[in-house]
Structure formats: C-alpha cells, structure tokens
Structure 1
C-alpha cells in the first residue's frame, strides 16, 4: 500500500493585516505580515450560490435505482417524492407521485413485473405496476424502513428497518406484513442468497446472517485490524446482478454479499506541522489504493477481495456489479468538475506487475447518486438534474433521459417530464499520460452529437475511459 496523505483544510487564509498596532502575538518568527497561507492541494469543489429552503432535502443514501434485463429502469427520487419508470430503449418515462416527505429509497423488482420501493420517512412500502406506471398499493411496515429484498424461492419481500425490525411482506399488493425477526437497531440493507439472509447495520458496518426462518446465525466478518475498524456501511448488494436462489458454494464469493463501507483509524493522528496544505509527499488527488490517516473507503467483495478506494473518491454511496468490475458512485464529487463521479474498479485488486489496479474514471454530468448494471454497461442516476445516464460501449451509442425539469426543492409543485432523443456520436480518440503510480493508456472521447432537440443547442458530452465513452446530456 502507498503511504498516507494528511488532511487538508479548504478555505484557510493568511494573517489579518488590518491591525494597525502590529502583528498578532502568535505570528511565528520570520513570518512576513500578510503572507498568504499555502492553498489546499488537489481539486476544490465549486458550490455556487447559497440556497435556503424551508424543508431540508433528504440525505443521500444511494440504492434508488434498479434496471431490468428488458431495459426498464425504476428510479426513486427522494427529493421530489416521486418514482420514475423509464424505458431505456423507447426513451419513455412514467411518473408515480407519492405523498410529501415519503422519501422513496431502496428499490427492488419481483418476478411479476412489480417494483417495490421503501418509503424511508413514510413508514411503508409502495408497490408499483411497471407496465402501466401506476401505484398499486401503499403498505405500512415500520417507522423507518431502509433496505428491501425479494426472496424469490419463498415469494416474499423482506424489509430491514432502522428500529431493528425485519419484516416480511407478500409481493401481491393486498398482502399484510408479518414480523420475521427483531435485531439490533440501525439496520441498513438486506440481501437474500438461497436460504441465507444477510442484514447490514449502518454505523457499525457489521453484517449478521439469519436462516430462512429468521433465526440469527452468525456475523459476517468484515476487514478489521488492530488500528482500524469498519464503520458506515453505505451499501450492501448481492454478488451478482440477480441474486441466485441457490448459490453455488464452490464459486468464490457467490455465497456472501458485497459491502461498501469505510474503515476508521483507531491510531492517534499526528498534530505535528504538515497537515495544513501539506500532503506529506502524497498527492491528495490520487487514484492509488491506499490507507488514509483517518478514514479509508473500502469495497469488501464477499470476503474474497478487498479494494481500498482512491482518496479522491468522496462519499461512496452506491455500488453495482458491472461487466468490467464494480462501479462505485462518488456522490461527494458532484461539485468538483475535475473529478469523476463514477469509478469502475477492475476485477483484480492488483495488476501482474504488483501495482494496485487503477479504476476507470467515468465523467457524468449532474449529481450522481445511484448506479445499476444494464447488459454490458450500466446506468447512472443523477439527483439534480433528475436524469438517467446510459453508458455506451465503444462510444457507439449514448443516451440521456431527463425525468424531471424542476429543481429538487420540496416547494416545487410542477414537474414536466421531457426525454431527449437518442444520440449518435462521432468519436475522436487520443492517448494521454499517467494514472496514479502506474502508467495506463486512456482514450479521451469527445462526443459531438448529430441529433438536435427542438429549440435546443447540440447535445454534447465527454468521457474518460480505457474502453468506452459515457453518456452525454444537454448543456
């Protein structure tokens, strides 16, 4: 692993020169008055103007998107209390309006064409007919539902609640809830693999296993060390796009879920100079897997592989198993234009020459919050503007579906649905320099789309990827 990099405090400034009586008492010897402090290293966010609203927006949680093999995407929008049913091929959008402050979150599909969405603040589960885009039922489950899974072999929905309840629901809209088990509080996600049920806890980043009857079995160990401990399990998913009803125990990683969490250091942090604008010899904008001094983001793949995520991957809230590896959403990068919002971690943790595997950096517009696999590619959901971005293979086809035109403010009362035309792009490729500590050949793909929307400028976009270009959107 590479060395640690120290923290940087954005917004630091030099000494105040407005004092006519001389320098402050704490000015170090030899310091010139008015000398500016060293600016923070690495890319800096651009937040723009400050917006104040009466209702605070809901927190980011990820996991609000699911895509079927037939190309139907179901996206929950907690900011607008809506759910969108999007036909990726037909570029069609159906909108389901929920109650104010329902805060739709995790989404799961059953085998009868119904989508089930947990209502994090609404205390229930919304069942939606995907074919018609209509709300079939709204059932109360618990005060704060969080995770949801479809147990195909037993034809039931399982819901994990923040208060510790593990509830079961029939997928049919007229079925009632039954309590399967009561666990410790702060439950987050739930994954069903055959007869095994895995439930994660958010703050402690712990995972427990239950049998099909809801009887507690044993904890699933995550990466732990003498000077670090798991914390904040942002997302737990099945090891494949569709969780197997009878996983093969002989296949490595097939019988345990994938957990995206943080690793907090228990060791004392240095208070010596060097933490203010000085990265102690390490670039804070690094793509190399490394253990940070205080907190490190970790992708634990079924206990078989451990990925230490790059330090410039901020706020990893969602992950999906895709054809080229594991796509991780960096929701904290949305306001930093020079940083990607999607990192695709390759299957191998290390390359043949011993270097850490460098992720593919995917530039998408908007504010990415969720990701889901789709065929040989994947779809990214944006919070603002409310859009879906479809990744293309070989830069041959790219499309953007904008599902809402209003800002993500609770006071919004009107939402217009508009879908852009399918885009066909021409590709100009070039190679560029280094990535992290190892050299890699990248193609910088610039898209100039030939399709025009009525009354709009040409649709353009850009992507950086070794193998493919990623979606475009209206500027």
Structure 2
C-alpha cells in the first residue's frame, strides 16, 4: 500500500501481538525450548517463556546468494543457519553450537558463506551446496560486520571492541588485525579502501590500504523549525549496505537533542515527522575517494513510524531500498532518489511503500528479480513480500520479556525500550530532560538490576519503579502485572555487559589494577564488589549526588558520566569532569594514568 504521511502527528493503529499456544516439541542443539504458555498476570495479556531468553535483536542476518535464488539466513535465536531455495521453497539447516549467536554473513567468489558468530567470537565458513561447516576460526571477542574483498580474496571482520580483522577467504589465520576505534559495526569495500561504521555514533571511518584511518565522516544534525526549533542528532547505525555505484546507504536512528519535557507521554511530544523523539532515517555515505568537503550538509529524511530499523537492503539496480521495522511487523521501501529529495524538502519522507508482515522481521534482502525477501524471527520464516511465506521448522522463541523490550508499549509511539537501549546496551546519547537536566542513557547489560536503586538520581528503588516512570509514564504503556514484571527482569538480567576486548598490554592492566585499589586514588572505595559499585549516591564534584554506576563493560560506554562530559576515559579525569573528588589522581604521572585507563578498559 502507498502511504502519504504529513509532518503532523501520525497516529498508528495498535498492532496485534497475535496468539501463541506453547507446546513442548523436540528441539535440536541450541533450541530455546518454550516451557510455559498461559494467560497469567495482566488481563488479556498472554505470557510466554523460553528456557533461555533470546538474544537482543541485532538485524542484518540475511543474504541472497549470487545465483539470485538461494537465501542464507543466520538464526541468532536458534543457533543455526537456514539455506533456502526461494523458487522451490525448500529449507535446509546447518546446526551451530549453542550460544554462537550467528549474525552478519557474506558470500565470497567461490560461493562459500562466512558468518560472524557474535557471542562465540568466531567466523564460521559454510559450503552452501553441501549444507555443511567447512571451517571455524576465532577472530575477536565480539565480531559484528563482515565484507568480502574480491581483490584480496579476503574477509574483513569489524568487531565491537574496535578490531578490524582480515581473514583469507579460503581459510587459515588472520593476515591483518587493526585497532581502529571501539564500537565498530559494518564494513563496505570501496576499491582499495574500506568504509567502516561505528554503531552508536553513526560515524563512518575511511580506512586506507595500509590500515590508516584517512578520515572520519559524521552525519549532520537535523534542525527543525516546525516545532519549538527541535534538533535531532544521528545515532545507532543499525546497518550499512553497499551501493552498486559506490558508497553505501546507512539506516540509523536520529534522536531528539533539544529539550525533552518529562510529562505523561514525554517520549511522544514533537510535531516533527511522526512526533517521536527517536526517528528512523537513511543516509547516503559517499564513496571513499570523495573528499570530505563534498559530504552533503542535508540530514537524512526520517521515515515515520518505523520502530527499530535494524536492517536495510538495496535492490540489484541500486534504485530502491527496503528497511525492516523489528518493533513492528512491517517492511517499508522507497526509491533512493525520493529519500534524498525528501531530505531537501522537509526532513520527513512523506511517501513510502509499507507492507504488513506475518511475523517479527529482523532482516531484509532483494532476490535476483528485485523482489523483497524478509527474514522473520518469530515465527521462523522467510516472507517473499506480496507473494508467499516459506516456513522454517524452528521451535518458537516467543518470550514475553523479549517482546516487551522490543515492541513499542502503545499504538502511537514508535519508541521501544530497545530504541534507546539497542542490543541491550545504550545509544550513546546524553538527553536534556526537563526538569531533570542532562542524563546519559545507561547501559542495561551485565546485571544492572543488582545495582538498585536505579537511574542516575538513584530515585527508583527497583524495576517496578523504573517501569512505572519510564514504560508507563514516559512511553505510554500499561502498568505490567507481577508476572510480566518478573519476565522483564528475567530478560534484562540475561543481557551481557559490553564485551571488552583482550588488552594489548597485560602488564599495563596489572599496574592499573594496583592503582585502582590504591586507597589514595580511591576508585575501589565506591567501585567495589562483584558489580563494581557500592549502590549509593555520591557527590563527585558535579553539583549533585549521583548513583555510582557499575564499571562492568565500561570500555564500550563512551561518552562517560551522567552528563556525557567525558568523550574518553582519559577525559573522565579532567577537572571539568569531576576532577579529584571523583578519585584522586593528583599524584599520578601521565604513564600511570594510562595504566589506570588500560585497567578500566579491561573490565
């Protein structure tokens, strides 16, 4: 259907969650078996529980091979890869190890497919014709993006810890390993250079053939005159996909950087585009050989009512693109030219084609005929949009906690918990809340519920208080019953901390650990115990008493402090960002401070 959407508020219908009947079924390795299904807790709300909570949605787990008819889909929920003949509708599965969490995948010139195993820290190589694994190689602690470089017959792997690893496509150990910057996401090969995206900042690094970062490209801020001069800053680059003519398209979020008034419905208060404080947007990334000065000054046009735009695909002719909304059962498509025209006109894309789907989408691709193919995680299927659905024989992964986290809690806003906490972590944003002030989004992974009371102000005693303030008041959801609250807690507790990369200098980490526990420096006085926090509010020289956060996974949480005053961990020790009231480093040399930072980055 064709939708024309104005810049005024758009009210979307409440999406049905459907009905799930839990049944115990025979499960293969890695199946998160359903163990309960009943109407418990809230009236008319179904409760469904998996044995192990499914991983947070990451997206981008589907390709169509070069033959145009063979789809290869990585199933992060069930730890397997599906190989499907789209014309015959015949699915085959390749079982992986439990907990691998397969993610991005790419085909090489020999028809092999290489899959990043997000939680296993490896890349697995598949023989598609034989439906089998031919190699498994350790690569880094948290591999994310993969790309095939035909000129080198090699696979480039971008890692969340900041590594960029190059592997021979034919097998064998890595031939190059670079440390670029934390939070790497996707890789696009551009001649002898690489475009490498960073997840939360939506920044793109241009990497030369010698491994040097030649430039850093940031996306422009959107300034609106339509509603109180609102501003939206780019964030959360879910996926970057290559364009046939060079460069790439990036689907990302843009978040309101002007003041957000905390009142009922506080996350749905702007008249810009669809009224949400977080928008979905698509930006063109210029080819690597184009000077930075040529980057367009126009920000991307927002796409209304798209919740969690976790994947983008470009048609073989390069003219059309499609993105999936994991927070809603839909896929939207548009021409690339129209998106850029809409950015120039009003910053909101008024004309897209939207298709409802039969399940929750996590990835999208185009087949050889230019038709859209969508991967559904629940129920497991490939949907050939407008044609048919190919069911995949995977066990159900419907889990109430997971669903509450990834679905908007009402039928108006497109904002879900995962909009600000992508992949269970955080969006890198420092929000300006009225009347609270500046507040940096906090990471949820690693056991945040053990650090209660919650929020920077420490004013919310437990998850029930947090849900009442955020999920209900700010996001417009219904107050969850006791059972649903328990399942939300169960899901949050399952989220891992940011996976810190192994240190480059173990001796520096050891020296830094000694400094961390030195009574004069005083770090461990507040950041002690298994969660590295004393669960109290402290005055660290910022004018108010603030909750002491856990330091687990701190390497992936820049900028730091409640107001985002520190772009790096070194900046955290600047007098303008707390100074000696937040740990006394006045007696440390520059080398000792480096050691202390090395230790913090290892946590």
Q: TM-score over 0.5 for the alignment?
A: yes
Out of 248, 252, 270, the residue aligned to residue 257 of structure 1 is 248
Provide the C-alpha distance between the structure 2 equivalents of 1:318 and 1:154, rounded to a whole number of angstroms.
27
In the other structure, the counterpart of 2:306 is 313
Q: How many Å apart are 1:178 and its aligned residue?
A: 3.2
Q: How many Å apart are 1:106 and its aligned residue?
A: 0.2
Q: How many Å apart are 1:85 and its aligned residue?
A: 1.1
In the other structure, the counterpart of 1:389 is 383
Equivalences for residues 395-434 of structure 1 within 5 A: 398-408=387-397
Provide the C-alpha distance between the structure 2 equivalents of 1:92 and 1:184, rounded to a whole number of angstroms.
42
Q: How many Å apart are 1:179 and its aligned residue?
A: 3.3
Q: 1:35-83, CA deviations, whole angstroms, 9 ceiling, x for partnerless residues?
A: xxxxxx5322444512233422111111100002421111000100000
Q: How many Å apart are 1:403 and its aligned residue?
A: 1.9
- The 1:154–1:56 alpha-carbon spacing in structure 2 relative to 1, beyond 3 Å, is same
Provide the C-alpha distance between the structure 1 equivalents of 2:110 and 2:204, rounded to a whole number of angstroms.
30
Q: How many Å apart are 1:292 and its aligned residue?
A: 4.4
Provide the C-alpha distance between the structure 2 equivalents of 1:145 and 1:94, rounded to a whole number of angstroms.
25
- The 1:405–1:143 alpha-carbon spacing in structure 2 relative to 1, beyond 3 Å, is closer
Assess if the C-alpha contact under 8 Å between 1:299 and 1:306 holds in 2.
no
In the other structure, the counterpart of 2:64 is 67
Normalising by structure 1, what TM-score? 0.66
Provide the C-alpha distance between the structure 2 equivalents of 1:132 and 1:146, rounded to a whole number of angstroms.
26
1:363 pairs with 2:356: yes
More helix by percentage: 2
Out of 191, 194, 197, the residue aligned to residue 194 of structure 1 is 191
Provide the C-alpha distance between the structure 2 equivalents of 1:120 and 1:279, rounded to a whole number of angstroms.
36
Q: How many Å apart are 1:186 and its aligned residue?
A: 1.1
Assess if the C-alpha contact under 8 Å between 1:4 and 1:293 holds in 2.
no
- The 1:181–1:407 alpha-carbon spacing in structure 2 relative to 1, beyond 3 Å, is same
Out of 357, 365, 373, the residue aligned to residue 372 of structure 1 is 365
Provide the C-alpha distance between the structure 2 equivalents of 1:274 and 1:163, rounded to a whole number of angstroms.
38
Q: 1:157-204, CA deviations, whole angstroms, 9 ceiling, x for partnerless residues?
A: 00011111110101113x112333101111111111111101111111
Assess if the C-alpha contact under 8 Å between 1:165 and 1:179 holds in 2.
no
Out of 156, 175, 193, the residue aligned to residue 178 of structure 1 is 175
Provide the C-alpha distance between the structure 1 equivalents of 2:222 and 2:350, rounded to a whole number of angstroms.
22
In the other structure, the counterpart of 1:448 is none
SS at match of 2:49: coil
Assess if the C-alpha contact under 8 Å between 1:180 and 1:213 holds in 2.
no
Structure 1: which 5+ runs fail to align?
7-40, 241-253, 283-288, 335-340, 393-397, 411-475
Q: How many Å apart are 1:346 and its aligned residue?
A: 2.3
Structure 2: which 5+ runs fail to align?
18-44, 224-230, 287-295, 400-603
Provide the C-alpha distance between the structure 1 equivalents of 2:134 and 2:85, rounded to a whole number of angstroms.
19
Assess if the C-alpha contact under 8 Å between 1:105 and 1:118 holds in 2.
yes
SS at match of 2:110: coil
In the other structure, the counterpart of 2:77 is 79
1:302 pairs with 2:295: no
Q: 1:333-359, CA deviations, whole angstroms, 9 ceiling, x for partnerless residues?
A: 03xxxxxx10002232348xx785400
In the other structure, the counterpart of 1:268 is 259
The alignment's C-alpha RMSD in Å is 2.8
Assess if the C-alpha contact under 8 Å between 2:269 and 2:275 holds in 1.
no
Provide the C-alpha distance between the structure 2 equivalents of 1:321 and 1:384, rounded to a whole number of angstroms.
24
Assess if the C-alpha contact under 8 Å between 2:267 and 2:276 holds in 1.
no
More strand by percentage: 1
In the other structure, the counterpart of 2:573 is none
Normalising by structure 2, what TM-score? 0.53
SS at match of 2:327: helix
In the other structure, the counterpart of 1:231 is 235
Q: How many Å apart are 1:291 and its aligned residue?
A: 7.2
Assess if the C-alpha contact under 8 Å between 1:223 and 1:300 holds in 2.
no
Q: How many residues align?
A: 342
In the other structure, the counterpart of 1:164 is 162
Which aligned runs of 4 or more in structure 1 are off by greater than 4 angstroms?
A: 1-6, 273-280, 303-307, 354-357
- The 1:152–1:300 alpha-carbon spacing in structure 2 relative to 1, beyond 3 Å, is same
